[in-house]
Chain A
Amino acid sequence: MTTVAVHSVPDSSLYLPDLKLKRKESVLHELVLAAQRGRAVRDTELLHETLLRRERWCSSAIGKGVAIPHARSLGVMEPRLVVARTLRGVDWSAEDGVAVQLVMLVLSPSESDIDSHLERVSRAVAITRTQRNRQRLLEAEDDRTMNTLLRELAT
């Protein structure tokens, strides 16, 4: 279950191809709503607050225009990956100063242990490591393409 959940976007609502938002707080909120539409979230306010609190403790920007926000939360019912592109870029307070264009939200229910959650996160990080992969992810125009790409990159 976890492999499929993390490496695919099984529902078209879980891929947001061109967010126009300017602030990371708004982007996170939009991602949470998408996860709710994908039936993975039981409490959007709680999850959003949990993500914001994590950002204050540990920024999810990992550099090179990528952010991997993630949470284990009571607000989450099912492990899920939500992917978004923000082609105009969003200031995410990244250490390298590069605006974020690719956001991959990794969600786990609070019952998940930390190791399995971090395994999901590390898989998301791994597929964004190379320039070629990032470029391909940024060029995915629809959820079907993104889904195929995530499955390919995860293998």
Chain B
Amino acid sequence: MTQPTLLELHDVDLQLAEARHAGTVAKLKKLGFTPGDPAPLERARARLLAGVERRWVQHYVRALQRYGRGVVGMRERVCLGCRVTLPTSAAPGVGEKLTLCESCGRILFWR
């Protein structure tokens, strides 16, 4: 179940970025929310990361470090990370949702 796990990992990383950023936490509190300890998010991240295939982890970490996002969506064959239109041959195989953007190297979520 690498693909769903990788997508969850991406969403957890977005939440962790919020939880680790003092300014964002302060904004959330000001709005009336009650952010707690990010430790459960850290644990979820570690668990999810352990469930992702190594090759995807490498691509994910590389893109995350370079762009701040490891995975991006697609729209009409356009990578929403670098906005390059990909050839039809770049589509994932049957039953798969993920490929790599040939232009920027981000992982693409096709749906």
Contact = CB atoms under 8 A, between A and B. Distances in A.
B31 A110 contact: no
Contact of B27 (A49, A71, A118): A118
Given A42-B111, A125-B31, A57 B19 contact: yes
B92 interface: no
Nearest to B109: A74
A8 interface: no
Q: How large is the interface on B (under 10, 10 to 19, 20 to 34, 35 or more residues)?
A: 35 or more
Interface residues of A, number: 31
B14 interface: yes
Contacts, number: 89
Given A56-B40, A58-B33, A110-B10, A77 B28 contact: no
A28 interface: no
Contacts of A74: 7, 10-11, 71-73, 109
Contacts of B75: 77
Given A74-B109, A110-B11, A110-B73, A57 B35 contact: yes
A121 B81 CA distance: 24
Contact of A60 (B33, B36, B38): B33
A53 B17 contact: no
A109 interface: yes
Nearest to B31: A125
B40 A57 contact: yes
Interface in A26-65: 42-43, 45-46, 49-50, 53-54, 56-60, 62-63
19 contacts: A42-B73, A46-B11, A49-B11, A53-B12, A53-B41, A54-B15, A58-B34, A60-B33, A62-B31, A74-B7, A74-B10, A74-B73, A77-B73, A110-B10, A110-B69, A111-B69, A111-B73, A114-B21, A118-B28
